[in-house]
Amino acid sequence: MRISFDAVIIGAGPSGLCAAKVLSNTGKKVLLLERDPFLGGQLLKQTHMFFGSKQQYAGIRGYEIANILIKDIKHENITILTDTIATGYYPEERVLLAFKQEKELIQIEFKQLIVATGASEKSLLFENNDLPGIFGAGAVQTLMNMYGVLPGMDIVMVGSGNIGLIVSYQLIQAGAKVNCIIDAAKNIGGYFVHAAKIRRLGVPILMQHTIHKAIGRSTIEAVEIAPVDDQWNKIPEKSFRRDCDVLCLAVGLGPMTEILWQMGCQMSYVPELGGSVPIRKTSLETTVPGVFVAGDAAGVEEASSAMLEGMIAGMYAAKNLGIAEDVFQKEWLNSESYLKELRHGPVGEKIRKGIEKVEA
């Protein structure tokens, strides 16, 4: 089957939903593709209140924001395909191939494309890192917050970034014990206020420590934790043992950009953004005309900025389709300046550095 749309959005997470919200207001023919059976992406797992400003839904919990965004889309103007994976791109015909609901392959023609595929979790190299009971933090969140399954009761968390801190907090809310959070870096990676929440629950945060090895027969039973020196060398002779039934890895994310590579977008490896990301304009249009990137696929950041990027990409894609600016709400037009505000200050420094490298 071959179908044709003015605009196609891949991914219905925070950025894809915001792009869909903008484009569904233009009267153009829009398609939203989502791999999962439901819309919302990572927002659905976020039970904490969001930071930012009221324009970015500050103070509202992530899963509630997903529901607001889904409601905001003008559904009569948009075709939504869940359980559908964009698997390939054929440049000769400018056709996207997608696998729909495990049944059929569909070909999709488009004028404008927004790639909002998000990110995937990174892992860590250590002995026995394939033992059952070793999870990525996103997997723990999916089990716990989507399906109501607690993966274990005695947790060791690796990573003091916001995800490590937030998932630790959620595990305690769900009734598990978090033994400790460890991180090889000197300073806590996440927001201080998230760390403070965890500390006053009595969870130690051991900085300059890493996993030496995992111990267990059929499933994880303990870990050996080793200190790390100022040059990031592990000191195994000083390692110590902590019993646990889950080792949770929150060691960063990498942008999911396979489809952008296939499309021939010019890519660049930018450590500050988590991996390889496309070179783009401030409009988020890549080096392939009509192909946009938004959210974590453009560089790993967080959901508030992903939403703003979705707005921006959606508006510029609409402009390419001949839509005049007056269709857009005033709030949307401020997205670029809000994004600047979110990235201002010391915690935004890394992102600003990364963006500088890829904005053409």
Partner 1 sequence: MFQRCGYLSDEELSSVFPDMDRLQSGPVAIIECIQEIPCNPCQDACPRDAIGPFIRMTDNPVINFEKCNGCGLCIGSCPGLAIFVLHLCYGQDTSMIKIPYEMLPVPCPEQSVSLLDRSGQVIGRGIVKKIQSLKHNPKTHIIWIEIPRELYKKARNIKVDNNE
| Site residues for partner 1 per CB under 8 A | 48-54, 58-59, 61, 172-173, 175, 186-188, 191-203, 205, 207, 304, 341-348
Token pair 């829009």 in the structure block, residue: 30
> What is the C-alpha to C-alpha distance for residues 30 and 8, in angstroms, rounded to an integer?
6
* Shortest separation between residue 54's beta carbon and partner 1, angstroms: 6
Identity (one letter) of the amino acid at 138?
A: G
Residue 322, token pair as written in the block: 């001949």
All residues at 6 or more sequence positions from 196 whose CB lies less than 8 Å from its CB, including other chains:
none
CB 166 within 8 A of CB 140: no
CB of 238: closest distance to partner 1 in angstroms? 19
Q: Which is nearer to partner 1, 142 or 168 (CB)?
A: 168
CB-count exposure of residue 26 (10 Å: 0-12, 13-18, 19+): buried
Tally of CB atoms within 10 A around 327: 14
CA 316 to chain centre: 22
Between residues 50 and 328, which has the closer beta carbon with respect to partner 1? 50
Q: Which is nearer to partner 1, 48 or 319 (CB)?
A: 48
Q: How far is the CB of 152 from partner 1 (least distance, A)?
A: 18
d(C-alpha 86, C-alpha 97), whole Å:
6
Which of 86, 308 has the CB closer to partner 1? 308
Of 17, 34, 26, the C-alpha closest to 328 is: 26
Instruction: Evaluate whether 2 touches 100 at the Cβ level (below 8 Å).
Output: no
Count of all residues that appear for the chain in the document? 360
CB of 191 to partner 1, least distance (A): 5
End-to-end Cα separation, the chain, in angstroms: 37
Structure tokens, 231: 């040059």
Whole-number minimum distance, CB 309 to partner 1, in Å? 15
Based on CB atoms, which residue is closest to partner 1, 257 or 305? Answer: 305
Q: Using CA atoms in the order 322, 319, 8, 95, what is the torsion angle rounded to 10 degrees?
A: 70
**Nearest approach, Cβ of residue 331 and partner 1 (Å):** 15
Give the nearer residue to partner 1 in terms of CB position, either 97 or 174: 174
Q: Which is nearer to partner 1, 59 or 271 (CB)?
A: 59
State the minimum distance, in angstroms, from the CB of residue 274 to partner 1: 19
Residue closer to partner 1 by CB (options 1, 193) is: 193
- Closest approach of partner 1 to the CB of residue 346, in Å: 6
For 282, list phi and psi in degrees, rounded to 5. Answer: -60, -25
**Residue from 342, 341, 348, 329 nearest 25 by CA:** 329
Q: Output the six-digit token pair for 88.
A: 């390939």
Of the candidates 96, 132, 127, the residue with the CA atom closest to the CA atom of residue 3: 96
Nearer to partner 1, 6 or 183 (CB): 183
Task: Quote the least distance from Cβ 60 to partner 1, whole Å.
Answer: 8
